[in-house]
Structure 1
Amino acid sequence: MDSLTVVWSANIVFTTGEYNGSSLAILGPDDITKPVREVSIVGGSGYFRRAQGHILLKTVSVDFDTGDAEAEVDAYVHPWPAKK
């Protein structure tokens, strides 16, 4: 690989509202040198059990002194089976 890439491994847990108690599982490479990146949604729990989809990541700010970064995350989710 010829770029700075990190691995995203995260769970987004919903604690209020319609999806309270559900979560999304995210896993994949993130080439942080690009302005917009795509990482896979590989599953979830509760309402999002067996979910598929992707997230788009956009870096908002980076603090090079601490290594902290802030990212905007847009999720595109296809729950399975779709609940009505």
Structure 2
Amino acid sequence: MKPFTQIVRPHDDILEGRLTMDVFAADLWQVAFGNAPPEYRNPELFFRKTYLTKGLKNLIEVTKNRLLGKTGDAVVQLQTPFG
């Protein structure tokens, strides 16, 4: 099996050591006021760096429907394998 570095190239922030773990926990307050890291202020950058799993696609769909006034769960419990 080939090493992953021969299959894909990591993003520059990873290669240059600029990636910090706090970027994985979005602070929605900072996002709302434009003070979040670029990955959360720029939708194109966010979706370029984010792998859309089935669960994430579902969450986006549920959120979109609620914002459009359609039916759906008003509260969504997120489960993540992170510690």
Q: Could you say whether these structures have the same fold, taking a TM-score greater than 0.5 normalized by the shorter chain as the test?
A: no
TM-score bracket, shorter-length normalisation: under 0.3
TM-score (norm 2): 0.20
Which structure is higher in strand share? 1
The structure in which a higher percent of residues are helix is 2
